[in-house]
Amino acid sequence: MQITVVDESTVKKVLNCEIPKEVVTKELNDAYRELKKNADIKGFRKGKIPRKVLENKFSKEVHGDVIPKLIQQAFSKAVDEYDLKIIASPKVDPPELDPESAYRFDMTVEVKPEIEDIEYKGMELNKTLYEVSESEIEAQIHMIRKTMASKQAVTEERAVKEEDFVLIDYQGFLGDEPFAATPQIENFVMAIGTDTMPEEFSNKMLGVIPEQDLEIEVVYSDQDPDKELAGKTIKYKVKVKEIHEEVMPDDDHLIKELGKYEDLDMVKDDIRANLSKGYEQRVQHELSEQIFLQLLEKYEFEVPESLVEAELNSIIAEAEQAYTQNNMTFEDAGLSKESLRKDYKDVAEKQARRHLLLDKLINQENLEMTDKELDASFEEMAKGMNASVDAIKNYFNTDKNQLENYKHTQLEKKAVDLIVEKGKITEKSSETENKTDEKKEVKKKKAVKKTAAKKTTEKKPAVKKKTAVKKTAAKKIAAKKIKKETDK
């Protein structure tokens, strides 16, 4: 058997394969021998059918069985002989088999890129120390109260205001005719200021006293996800029937509904623990991002297209699942798999590079997952999923591929932890981080306004005053950003 390797790139090889006629003949003889034992042809006794008869009737099927065996033999020999680190199934367009000739074909394979040893010790990393504030805990409690809040009709006569709910009947008209896409709806409860209905509804209802009839015109853009409404102007006839207010539960009711707490302090302790865990995960994410930014900048290598495709398929599958859970499709959002593949190609390539770098470090440092570490990770997973450890183990025991993938993911985390452990860590408080961001923002705004300030000297004090205002705003924005990230 002759195999030559042609390099199309550092990660893509073409294997020119030639299997001798003697090997082809042997495989065909074996195949026909097995076929002869079981073939059933009228006029012949089983096991006594002549080879020529079998060839005339079954040659296509026999060749179809033999060709994959020949390809597999060549593939195995190439992997062993050239020490190929294959990362995807080979691509072959197999030619017809001629029993009287050697079998020649080309096979395209992708291999892992050769990456030099990773110098990871002493990597400079910044670690932000986040602390859970009382305001964050109160905000979380407020959110819990809102989920438990009830709506009560307002008995006094007053106008609709922000954060109210209104009970309405409505119907949409196209021109003067009722429009099928906007039928008559009765007793619909709408929250003022939310996007459950077009914003024109909220704008028009503010200040209205029930009961009152309104006409609300909504102009839908040509790009509206609802194709029946896109590009149309709909006139809604609306009856505002009642105002409802949101009534929050008091502390006693809150604790009773939550069920597992004795007092509000216990609720706060639980919230504090969850927020702290969220911050720990955020710190890990920030450190990982710093690590990969440095590694990706330092180590250049080609990435096999099959790995990028696998990452893209994963991204699209997750996006599709997210839309499905919200009873939507890509088409509803004006998206397509093709557009997502184009938009996320760079993201997928970076993800593939990350996995290859981590895989290199795992092998370089001979990192392994001990049974004790695996059991600990199962316990953590079980806790997060509110399941038993046995249930987690049983799941992985029924699918060994999933178990191996999970182990490798844990090894990747171990590799990142190793880099952090051996790195030069500079710790700073989240307040310092926020102030640094504020200074950068203020400096940028000053630079933008500097040219305008030069034109008239009397405007300089105003610039300073605005800068002070911007500092305060920046603090609020930074605080909101921390909260948003932590909630994730």
Average pLDDT over residues 450-474: 34
Hey, what are 137's tokens?
């805990």
pTM beyond 0.75, yes or no: no
Residue 66 and residue 28 in contact, taking contact as beta carbons nearer than 8 Å: yes
Q: Tell me, which fold does domain 2-110 have in CATH? A: Alpha-Beta Plaits (3.30.70)
Strand pairing class (124-129; 150-153): unpaired
**For 64-73, 124-133, 251-260, 356-365, which range has the lowest pLDDT when averaged over its residues?**
251-260
pLDDT surpasses 60 at 184: yes
Check whether 476 has a pLDDT greater than 70: no
Q: Which two tokens stand for residue 189?
A: 């409860």
DSSP string, 198-224: -HHHHHHHTT--SSEEEEEEEE--TT-
Residue 167 has pLDDT above 50, yes or no: yes
Residue 281's CB is within 10 A of a number of other CB atoms, namely 13
From the list 438, 459, 437, the residue with the least C-alpha distance to 449 is 459
Q: Which of 59-68, 381-390, 458-467 has the lowest mean pLDDT?
A: 458-467
261-426 homologous superfamily:
Trigger factor, C-terminal domain (1.10.3120.10)
Average pLDDT value for residue range 33-46:
85
Sequence-separated (6 or more) residues with CB below 8 Å from residue 460? 453
Residues sharing a CB contact under 8 Å with residue 123, sequence separation 6 or more, in sequence order: 291, 294, 419, 422, 423, 424
User: Of the candidates 488, 411, 423, which has an alpha carbon nearest to the alpha carbon of residue 127?
Assistant: 423
What CATH architecture does domain 150-247 belong to? Roll (3.10)
Question: Same fold for the domain at 2-110 and the one at 150-247?
Answer: no
Share of the chain above pLDDT 90, in %: 71
pLDDT tens per residue, range 266-318: 999 999 999 999 999 999 999 999 999 999 999 999 999 999 999 999 999 99
Tell me which residue has tokens 């602390």.
Answer: 131
Between 331 and 134, residue with greater pLDDT = 134
Helix (H) or strand (E) holding 428: strand 424-429
Q: In whole angstroms, what is the distance from residue 449 CA to residue 428 CA?
A: 31
List the chain domain ranges. 2-110, 150-247, 261-426, 431-487
Per DSSP bridges, beta strands 124-129 and 424-429 are parallel
Grade residue 120 by pLDDT with cuts at 50, 70 and 90.
very high
- The pLDDT of residue 243: 95
pLDDT band with cut points at 50, 70 and 90 for residue 474: very low
Contact indicator for 304, 111 with CB cutoff of 8 Å = yes
Q: How do residues 402-458 score in pLDDT, each as one tens digit?
A: 999 999 999 999 999 999 999 999 999 877 555 555 555 545 555 544 444 443 333
Cα dihedral sign for 266, 267, 272, 274? positive
How far apart CA 435 and CA 432 sit, in angstroms, is: 5
Rounded to the nearest 10 degrees, the angle between the axes of helix 371-385 and helix 400-421 is: 100
DSSP label at 118? P
H/E stretch holding 104? strand 103-110
Q: How confident is the model at residue 326 (pLDDT cuts 50, 70, 90)?
A: confident
Q: Would the pLDDT of 53 be above 70?
A: yes
